[in-house]
Amino acid sequence: MLIVYFFFFQAEDGIRDRSPSRGLGDVYKRQLSPDAQKTTKYEHVIPQLVDIEEDPEIEGLLVILNTVGGDVEAGLALAELIAGVSKPSATLVLGGGHSIGIPLAVAARHSFIVPTATMTVHPVRHSGMVLGVPQTLRYFEQMQERIVSFVTEHSKITARRFTQLMHNTGELVMDMGTVLDGRQAVEEGLIDELGGLRDALGYLYKEIEK
């Protein structure tokens, strides 16, 4: 029996679903803490990904993404877990796969994106207090290097091109970075294929039957 798990990663500033989530519907949803600092809820996803790997009845993994981003550590942890799943896996970007959502989008064996979805490539950001010392800048550089390394290892885009998109100053009005639509994301080598749910499922079923 073929069983494909669906994971939904959502992120909306200051909003959190009150209704019960079936599985991972509230993953990557950020809520405002009393100190107005954003927090990312993701801890419960890790054991569920481990369960998928260990459960013999589960033959494939489909990750559906619609996220504006979130915590770098959380995103990379989830991306590494998805990349480490030995079963056929695919990602599908709907709506948006921005910021740290990009490593998640490229983590599976094959990635899909719908034409109307967008992906924002930008440098690491920090919303809390920042000390104006060289160590802080080096910390940001190291964090950014980790993201670039993961993305380029799991996609066809080069580190140089990804960094160029990240540091683009001619597109966003009050920021630096690049917004790619679905077709552009595929042309840049960030995403493997343009397609929707039918295509992602078709790929998974084909891989499972091999």
Q: Which residues are catalytic?
A: 99, 122
What 3-state class would DSSP assign to 99? coil
Whole-angstrom Cα distance, residue 185 to residue 10?
20
Question: Helices in 98-210 by DSSP H: which ranges?
Answer: 101-106, 134-153, 159-166, 182-187, 197-209
Measured from the Cβ of residue 200, the count of other Cβ atoms closer than 10 Å reads 24
Q: What are the distances in angstroms from CA 7 to CA 126, 129, 161?
A: 27, 33, 29
Q: How many residues does the chain have?
A: 210
Pairing relationship of beta strands 118-121 and 178-181 according to DSSP bridges: antiparallel
